[in-house]
Amino acid sequence: MNKRLPFGLAMIMLVAPCLLLVAFTHYPALRALLNSFWNNASSRRPSKFVGVENYQTLLEDDRLVQVMLNSTFYALGTIPLAIGLAIGMALLVNAKLPGTSLMRLSFFMPTMLPMIAVANIWLFFYAPGIGLASQILGLFGLPPINFLGSTETSLISMMFVAVWKEAGLFMIFYLAALQAVPENLKDAARLEGAGPVRIFFNIVLPLLRPTTIFVAVNALINAFRLVDHVIVMTRGGPNNSSALLLYYIYEVTFSQRDFAYGATLTVLMVCLLGVLAAVQYWVLNRKAHYQ
Amino acid sequence: MTIMTKLAGSCCTAAMFSLAATSLSAADLEFYFPVGVNAPAVETIQALTDEWAAQNPQHSVKAVYAGNYEETTTKALTAANAGQPPQVAVLLSIDLFTLIEEDVIVAISDIANTPEDKEWIDGFYDGFMKDAEFEGKTYAIPFQRSTPVYYYNKDAFRAAGLDPETPPKTWDEMIEMGKKLTIKDDNGNVTQWGTRIPTLGLGGAWLFGGLVVSKGDVLTTETGIEARIDTPATKASLEFLLDLSKEGVMAPGGISWGDTPKAFLEGQTASMWTSTGNLAFVEENATFDWGVGFLPGGDGPGAPIGGGNFYIFQDTTDEEREAALDFIKFMTSPANAAKWSIATGYVAPRPDAWETPEMKAYAERLPQALVALDQLDYAEREFATFQRAKVTQYLVDAIESVVTGNAEPAAALKAAQEGADDVLDDYK
């Protein structure tokens, strides 16, 4: 049964994925690192080695400070909120209530839409004066809020869209996990006189922990990876109040065509994500193995 | 000497004949174009492109809709850097310096060098050629050019007791009339603002250029290395924007470009500043009587010119360049420029286009279209420098930080000027 794979075939099968990995992950990352030590050359400015000059720019970049603060606030705000909402929705659709399948569909709907479409829908919701949000405020006699046009609300508006979009996907994971919670544990608890709240916090929630860690990792990656809505809705404005790190990299690299500084920012992001991933794996290894 | 010159001349003529002959041979063109307005632009471009292809069966042309202006520029530059540029593209006029710096375009005046060609180039409005030239050469041919104009709701003017045929001409009149046009409901919430000038993003910076021109200054010059962000004119312009909301005429905070036509059509604002590229959209959707006027000015009329030009790319064969030039001539011919202008609201870039019967009928039906043309005499180039995106961002940040109440005009402009100078010092 255990036939040995011919060595040549094994190599071929190894080479194909390795080539893809090298071509699309390792080479670009290495190239970004190299580019970050050079200036941004053009026909009017010869290319030259500048050492750590780009990194000095990075340290003195006021916009980057704002962008990093935005990204941190965005991640800290969206991840717990999306997870909390996802658990709530999963509990709701897991309960034996009428119309469950319709509820599941409507909770999952935002996840199926492409982010660009979502952003355009919300662009209309947020439009001051004419949008849905303003009309609802108007029903209560409240003045319209300029959601995307003021520095106080633009980032929060972006976070709201992200949570709305992502919670449905996370709900699916939680739903699967909830259905795997053994009924006999809950029955035993009920016999002991525990109420539904106690059952949830002492039995269900601990059993959901591996799912939560998995979802948190995904949410964290998405918090840095998804910037489509920023591009469509605010372009990072007003006054950089809704600019996230990846959006800033996109803007510096492709709009301002400063490939050297874009590469420097990319190195920063890769390092940042690397550290976050390491921390998460450490947490994962410690906490997720008791099942 | 004279014989030599003559000889050289005839050689040139011979060369040109041979060029003309080779232009008959096939070229496969790829043509990138953006859409920046609410209009059936793609269909019109496709129809015009198909027509050219039908008239020139020896060539082929593929029209590629490449997104908005910024995306189209990015795609064209990326393709050019990869050695596969489109032969011809419509890109922002203000991308001129970027395209020159990246060394990806050819000067059209180097290809179009016969006397007839020169006459053709001279046939465009001077206002549109200002930002198509650099160091004495013509690099671009105007195609979808626009200026912003003042759109106003005549019914709202009548309701406020204002003369619907005299829109405001100055900033003071704008505030004064705007107060009468602003309507509040019982809760004290504004249901109709006096005016709406987008202040966010690149659209906001574009309109800001008009404010500055009306105060007798410009933001940038033809050198591409000078940004005049911190001047008395820019300060006055920013303060005017603040005054509009302080006087309750315009909604406070940042105002987006994209929502503006909708807000106007929904009656949320009695007037707006936006591109002539929205003429067709407003005409189609307005349920009220509306008019168009010059942008009200500080010391006199003033407006920025914006929009896109045709560029021809390097890394192309002589045949392709000839074909591309012929294609551009076709697209900007009087009849086709008229078609394009009527479909979109862009200002037809040549006087002879306005002489066509179609255009005359259009101007009669929609006299608003003539306003932008007349305003051209008071219009200046849009903000353009080397490293345009980076330098403009400083201006955008300054405007946005002031209108959202996070900075004072003087300090914001000073910081923006320093940032811009830092970038541009490399080029001096």
**pLDDT value for B39:** 67
Tens of pLDDT, residues B199-212: 998 899 999 999 99
Per-residue pLDDT at B42 exceeds 50? yes
Average pLDDT, chain B: 88
- pTM as predicted: 0.84
* B406 interaction partners in chain A (CB closer than 8 Å): 151, 239
Could A127 and B396 be called an inter-chain contact, meaning their C-beta atoms sit closer than 8 Å? no
SS (H, E, C) chain A: CCCCCCHHHHHHHHHHHHHHHHHHHHHHHHHHHHHCCECCCECCECCCECCCHHHHHHHHCHHHHHHHHHHHHHHHHHHHHHHHHHHHHHHHHHCCCCCHHHHHHHHHHHHHCCHHHHHHHHHHHHCCCCCHHHHHHHHCCCCCCCCCCCCCCHHHHHHHHHHHHHHHHHHHHHHHHHHHCCHHHHHHHHHCCCCHHHHHHHHHHHHCHHHHHHHHHHHHHHHHHCCHHHHHHCCCCCCCCCCCHHHHHHHHHHHCCCHHHHHHHHHHHHHHHHHHHHHHHHHHHHHCCCC
pLDDT in tens, B225-247: 999 999 999 999 999 999 999 99
Query: Does A88 contact B at CB distance below 8 Å?
Result: no
Summarize the confidence of residues B281-300 as an average pLDDT: 92
Identify from B74, B103, B200 which residue to disrupt to test chain A contact, counting A C-beta atoms within 10 A and taking the largest count: B200
C-beta atoms of A144 and B403 within 8 A? no
Once rounded to an integer, what is the mean pLDDT over residues B70-94? 91
Question: Are B77 and A257 within 8 A, CB to CB?
Answer: yes
pLDDT surpasses 80 at A45: no
Which of B 92-131 lie inside 8 A of A, CB atoms? 98, 100-103
The alpha carbon of residue B346 is apart from the nearest alpha carbon of chain A, in Å, by 24
Closest B-chain CA to A140: B187
CA distance B404 to chain A (A): 6
Contact between chains at A128 and B396 (C-beta distance less than 8 A): no
**Residue ranges of A 218-237 with Cβ closer than 8 A to chain B:** 235, 237
pLDDT number for residue A287 = 60
d(CA A243, nearest CA chain B) in Å? 12
